[in-house]
Amino acid sequence: MLFNSFEFIFVFLPITIFGFYGLGSFGLRQAAIIWLVLASFVFYGYWNYGSIILIISSMIFNYRMGIFLGNKYQNNPVKSYSLWVYHLFLYLGIAVNLAILGYYKYANFLIDNFNVFTGAELNLKNIILPLGISFFTFQKIAYLVDSYNGKTRNYSFLDYCLFVIFFPQLIAGPIVHHWEIVPQFANQKIIKFSYENFALGWTIFSLGLFKKVIIADGVSAYSTPIFVAAASGTELDSFEAWRGVLAYTFQLYFDFSGYSDMAIGISRIFGITLPINFDSPYKANSIIDFWRRWHITLSRFLKDYLYIPLGGNRKGETRRYLNLLITMLLGGLWHGASWTFVIWGGLHGCYLIINHLHISLKKYLSWHNNKQSILEILFYRILTFLSVVIAWVFFRSESLDGAIIILQSMMKFNFSSFFHNNLSNLTSNIVFYGFWLPFLLLIVWFAPNTQQILMQYKPTLSSDDSKISHAFLWKPNLLWATSLGLISFIAISKVLEAKASEFLYFQF
């Protein structure tokens, strides 16, 4: 079930809200939580009910494993074992989770590559990838590590279930920690309907829905045909190639930004505040800054549970750069079982290394305290943006050959090809480069984001200290109500007239 579908907006969400707050009005907190858990299972099982067995089995295993690991800190001689036993079970728990993820997501990839290198003809049946498995696997691994480190409490199985299965963030994040969300479930206030939470939640949801169905889906028409053509070996001119890559750059941005807003908005309707996951990443002035803004909770997980355990920056500069590269290569592979994702991750790993070397050079030359001029900031922002754009070519391409075709076409710089094309191509160039490109650049580089607009009401767990004009701050007044009503009307009209399209991050 998609957030941008008729079934979700007009059937599932209203029933879930009425059921949750209906039970809450009688003070039945546990019944309300059970209702939300069951609704989340319905939401997840809507695609494939067979996946419910997998996620329930996984939840039971990880919950019991978490309790066992947490016993390391209990002064109970019956439950106390040698430290190596807990260490062994921690690795066992992580291995089981990774094995499940590896089978569903990477088995065919490994077999295909084995066949290429050995000439064998091994074949696995078509494995259906359970939606959201990459996201909830990381959440459960983090829970086990935190249990081992004594950071978890004696959560009930019901609260743990909701932590894993909570439908707004189940499929594509944000990747939440237990300490961020489980204590909120215990708050008796969440079962009491709040007009403020509903208004904030619906505002954020509406903005996200608009981003998805109007902007992301609208600009996809300029992206998809180009990558499909490249995958088939079709030669492209430079304006076609750049149009396709830039269109995908914005499509992915607004698709993921829209999903993040919708997840945060839906959660807020139920009185739950999620962590920020998307913070205007194309405003970044460096690749380091980009990864502080793009998929923030994934970056946090990779840093805390991969980069730092590898040694982080504690073992010298060479080891630090190697750890960065390994982290980003695995981060790329996490996104998909394809060499294009590995290359994308490797590119960003190299970008980060270059960024850190640049910082070290500035410190060596004593330039790091110099205040940057507007021109410098603009230069670094454009350089960062173009670096990200180039990497997206591999991220989106269906094959290495397709990516190479697009990159070669981008390098042709045949400016006359803008006009020397058929009428359809010329029209696409004029509309995209004349309207879409300047409009979208203006938004992603200069406009305040959703969190900034609503900063007075703390829409996410993380605070935003940036300053924006008072005129852009959301207020419960007639002007904002009218504007949000119009945005909702336009977005829902699009939902009613067109088949809902999947969010791009669902495939990861």
What is the Cα–Cα distance from 448 to 468, expressed in whole angstroms?
7
- The closest of 283, 284, 285, 291 to 352, measured between CA atoms, is 291
Instruction: Give 210-253 as a DSSP string.
Output: HIIIIIIHHHGGGTHHHHHHHHTT----HHHHHHHHHHHHHHHH
| DSSP helix/strand/coil, 82 | coil
If phi > 0 it is left, if psi is from -120 to 50 it is alpha, else beta; for residue 152 that is beta
Integer angstrom CA distances of residue 388 from 14, 53, 248, 329, 395: 39, 39, 12, 15, 10
- The closest of 453, 14, 448, 23 to 200, measured between CA atoms, is 453
Q: Token digits for 119?
A: 């000439």
What is the Cα–Cα distance from 31 to 23, expressed in whole angstroms?
7
Residue with tokens 């189940």: 170
Using an 8 Å Cβ cutoff, are 190 and 205 in contact? no
The backbone torsions φ and ψ at residue 191, rounded to the nearest 5 degrees and listed phi first, read -85, 0
| Dihedral angle computed from the Cα positions of residues 118, 124, 126 and 129, in that order, rounded to the nearest 10 degrees | -90
Using an 8 Å Cβ cutoff, are 216 and 355 in contact? no
Helices 238-269, 423-431: inter-axial angle, 10-degree rounding: 50
What is the Cα–Cα distance from 140 to 73, expressed in whole angstroms?
20
* The residue type at 52: I
- The closest of 195, 197, 257, 247 to 221, measured between CA atoms, is 247
Integer angstrom CA distances of residue 225 from 219, 238, 386, 417, 445: 11, 15, 21, 18, 26
- The closest of 133, 202, 184, 154 to 454, measured between CA atoms, is 202
Residues noted as catalytic:
335
Residue 318 parent element (H or E) = helix 317-335
Using an 8 Å Cβ cutoff, are 51 and 45 in contact? yes
- The closest of 216, 310, 224 to 259, measured between CA atoms, is 216
| Secondary-structure percent of the chain, ordered helix, strand, coil, rounded to 5 | 70, 0, 30
CA gyration radius, the chain = 24
| DSSP helix/strand/coil, 147 | helix
- The closest of 184, 176, 166 to 272, measured between CA atoms, is 184
Long-range contacts of 32-36 (CB under 8 A, 24+ apart): 32/191, 33/158, 33/159, 33/162, 33/185, 34/158, 36/162, 36/166, 36/270
